[in-house]
Chains A and B, each alone.
Chain A
Amino acid sequence: MLTNSRQKARRILIADDDPVIRHMVTRFVEMEGCQAVVAHDGGAAYRLLQSDANFCGAIFDMVMPHIEGIDLMRFMRTEKRLMRIPVMMITSEKDLKLLANSFAAGVTIFLPKPFTTEQFQSTFRLLLNQQTEQPCH
Chain B
Amino acid sequence: MSLTHTELAAVDLAVLASYEDAQIEGEPDFVVELIDLYLDEVPRLFDSLHTAIQNNDSTTAKRAAHSLRGSSGNLGVLQIAAIADEFEHLENQCGTSATQLLQSLENEFRRVKEILGAERQKRSR
A-side residues, CB < 8 A to B, are 1-4, 17-21, 23-24, 27-28, 31, 61, 63, 65, 92, 113-117
Q: Which of B32-40, B90-98, B105-113, B117-125 contacts A (4 or more CB under 8 A)?
A: B32-40
With both chains docked as a complex, state the minimum distance between the C-beta of A97 and any C-beta of chain B, in angstroms.
15
Cβ < 8 Å to A, chain B residues 34-88: 34, 37-38, 40-41, 63, 66-67, 69-71, 73-76, 81
Q: Are B73 and A63 in contact (CB under 8 A)?
A: no
Given the complex, which residues of A lie within 8 Å of B38, measured CB to CB?
20
Given the complex, which residues of A lie within 8 Å of B27, measured CB to CB?
4
CA distance A3 to B27 in the complex (A): 10
Besides A3-B24, A27-B30, 18 new A-B residue pairs in contact (Cβ under 8 A), listed by A number = A1-B24, A2-B22, A18-B67, A18-B71, A20-B74, A21-B70, A23-B34, A23-B37, A24-B19, A27-B24, A61-B70, A63-B63, A63-B66, A63-B67, A92-B66, A114-B15, A114-B81, A117-B19
Please tell me the size bucket of the interface on B: 20 to 34
Given A19-B41, A92-B70, are A116 and B26 also a contact pair (CB < 8 Å)? Answer: no
CA distance A10 to B49 in the complex (A): 38
Q: Are A2 and B71 in contact (CB under 8 A)?
A: no
Q: Are A3 and B70 in contact (CB under 8 A)?
A: no
Q: Are B22 and A65 in contact (CB under 8 A)?
A: no
Q: Are B33 and A21 in contact (CB under 8 A)?
A: no
B-side residues, CB < 8 A to A, are 15, 18-19, 21-27, 30, 33-34, 37-38, 40-41, 63, 66-67, 69-71, 73-76, 81
Most chain B Cβ neighbours within 10 Å, of A2, A114, A117: A114
Given the complex, which residues of B lie within 8 Å of A1, measured CB to CB?
23-25
Q: Are A18 and B41 in contact (CB under 8 A)?
A: yes
Given the complex, which residues of A lie within 8 Å of B22, measured CB to CB?
2, 24, 27-28, 31, 117
- Across the two chains, which residue of chain A brings its CB closest to B73? A114
Q: Are B24 and A21 in contact (CB under 8 A)?
A: no
- Across the two chains, which residue of chain B brings its CB closest to A65? B63
